[in-house]
Chains A and B, each alone.
Chain A
Amino acid sequence: MPDVEFRNIVKRFGSLTVLEKLNLKIADGEFLVLLGPSGCGKTTLLNMLAGLQETSDGTIAIGNRDVTDLDPKDRGLAMVFQSYALYPTKTVKGNLLFGLSAQKLDKAEMQRRVEWASKLLQIDALLDRKPAQLSGGQRQRVAIGRALVKNVDVFLFDEPLSNLDAKLRTEMRLEIKRLHNELKKTIVFVTHDQIEAMTMATRIAVMNSGVIQQIGTPDEIYERPKNLFVASFIGSPAMNMVPATVVANGGTCVARHEPSGVPLHLSRYQFEHQPKTGQNVIAGMRPEHFSVGEMPEEACGAYFELPVRYTEKTGSDVTAFLESGGGLIAVRFDSKHYHVPAAGERLRVSYPADKFDLFDPKTEVRI
């Protein structure tokens, strides 16, 4: 079974360069999510893999085949589109069968595959219906079925869940994850939704303005973001970025939070490069890692007592925005353990010492 490799991919639209010398290797059987904001080049990358857009330079290989100049139908891929893209005049069965039309198969084999895919996706009762007679979730299943019947090794998904409502999206997320576990095929999945990426991917490639910012498992991406962009893109509410200055270097490394002068204890932080005294850094603190009240001294990285500007309650969670210097620090905690603070109330929160993320303010890279 093949892996997929992009080598030095360049994509230009006229004088605009969208992708510049991009390299990416997707291992066999992997569920890779291309994650990034709109216009970051992730769909372009997927379309180039599918053969729907041409590369300006570089090669794409599937297994040991160079597919850069092959027709889409000859690449051995199947794709699921955002808008389902079903054929409106064909029945569900007709849609599935048309997916097989590039492969020369005998009737019995085609029939067998349609039966298999429709059972797997629970659309076997709908085979004679037209797309107009289906609900959104059913249409999405048919679209996935049309890809499955091809029995290829690499599946491409172009934001397939963004047209579904929240409940269906969760269902289909599980469904796609289940299919991946059962079929063990390589999946390349494009999305701008970090929840989809975090829940489904075996690896995530975070993209911004045509460059892969970081590639790693969901945990790596979340726990050790390589740069400011990844740190701020992943996580909801977004990570707090506060300016700080390193004040003591040596046995106990301490940085001072610029607006308030609160010390940040960095002794548990794993530095990639040792900082100098007096160096400016940006300290990232995830809202969900804060806890209300005090912590044991050896675990505590920072302790703030700040007034609440406003709060947002989302079911079990409360996010409080604390006023600090000119900015706000978001703090998320469980409402079971603490009452919802009123605006203006002073809230005491502490941040664990092992959860900091430090970045260089100039290069935006992790320190």
Chain B
Amino acid sequence: MTVTIEATAFAADRVKVKRRRRRIRGSSIAILVFLTMCAAFVSVPLYVVIVTSFKTMDQIAQGQIFSLPTEWTLEPWRYAWSQTCAGMTCKGVSAGFWTSLKILFPSLLLSIGVSSVTGYALALWKINWAGTFLFILFLCAFVPFQIIMIPLVVLVSSLGIFGTVWAVALVHAILSMPLLTLIFRNFYKDIPDEIIKAAIMDCGSFWKIFLEIILPMSANIMIVVLILMITSVWNDYLIGLTFGGVGTQPMTVILANTVITSFGEVRYNVNMAAALLTAIPPLVVYFGLGKFFVEGITAGAIKG
């Protein structure tokens, strides 16, 4: 009999422990409040931007920035896309959209292409002075752009491409290479040694091993780097402003010019819509690419 009683007491104890765990504690309330504040800090202005972009100017003139549009309109979006003025040209932010794309793709190709191969070589092949090279790359990754901006302008104009989309793309690619190379190198460093040894014995070709073995294993890091690069290239303002000429300015520069235009009536709804149009592509990339993360790149290759 005593045994049963003890067992019941024990069971009751276990139930108690479980319940205690579910109770909300002071610290978790603090965390909740903090996180809510963080979320509000970003989402309240975002809410205002979104609702304003759908309002008519008449409603905006009444104030009440938190109210929903009484009359939903897409007119500001259409106007922002194709008609709003940036400085002297009035073609909307769409011109900047296409320029941004023209900057984005070459810079992605160049930076990812060069840095992934460099990272692969540094991580998996025996290279003289690899350590020194890595250290210099590491230093370069921390040099602020502003410090080297003027020499870069001189350099790029001596190449004869200053003021074109190529200049902006090239500068983006070069500036991102140190960081990307370090990222790729650290990723490839984790590929088991014996796989590359086997590949060297099987084939021995630097490029063939990279294209057939290493690149297919790089899906995860490619997605990380793509998100990183697309966001930074798209959202950049300073490089586009400095190296882009008239008609080759990226979307962010056009947006800024639209918003700071100082003549006539300030069309808040159009400005908000233009800002949102500019912000959409990186968001799409974020949500679109995130689901392609694959787990366990070396699954099955080696003893798990």
Contact = CB atoms under 8 A, between A and B. Distances in A.
Given A81-B197, A85-B192, A133-B300, A102 B217 contact: no
Given A81-B198, A130-B300, A88 B217 contact: yes
A101 interface: yes
B294 to A, nearest CB: 10
13 contacts: A79-B201, A84-B194, A87-B199, A88-B195, A88-B301, A89-B216, A90-B216, A100-B202, A102-B203, A131-B299, A131-B300, A133-B300, A136-B303
B290 interface: no
Interface of A: 50-52, 71-74, 77-79, 81-90, 98-102, 130-134, 136, 139, 146, 150, 163
Interface of B: 192, 194-195, 197-205, 208, 212-213, 216-217, 296-303
Given A82-B194, A87-B195, A98-B212, A132 B200 contact: no
A83 B194 contact: yes
Given A73-B202, A87-B199, A101 B208 contact: yes
A132 B197 CA distance: 20
Contacts of A136: 303
Describe A's contact surface by its main secondary structure. Answer: loop
B201 A78 contact: yes
Given A81-B194, A85-B195, A98-B212, A52 B303 contact: no
A78 B202 CA distance: 8
A77 B202 CA distance: 9
A85 B200 CA distance: 12
B197 A84 contact: no
B198 A88 contact: no
B200 to A, nearest CB: 5
Given A81-B197, A88-B217, A102 B204 contact: yes
A79 B198 CA distance: 7
Nearest to B213: A87
Contacts of B301: 84-88, 131
B216 A98 contact: no
A161 to B, nearest CB: 11
A132 B302 contact: no
Contacts of A73: 200-204
A163 B197 contact: no
Given A85-B195, A88-B298, A98-B213, 16 more contacts: A52-B197, A81-B194, A83-B192, A85-B301, A85-B302, A87-B301, A88-B297, A88-B299, A89-B216, A98-B199, A101-B202, A102-B202, A102-B204, A131-B299, A136-B303, A139-B300
A88 B302 CA distance: 8
Contact of A83 (B203, B204, B299, B302): B302
Contacts of A102: 202-205
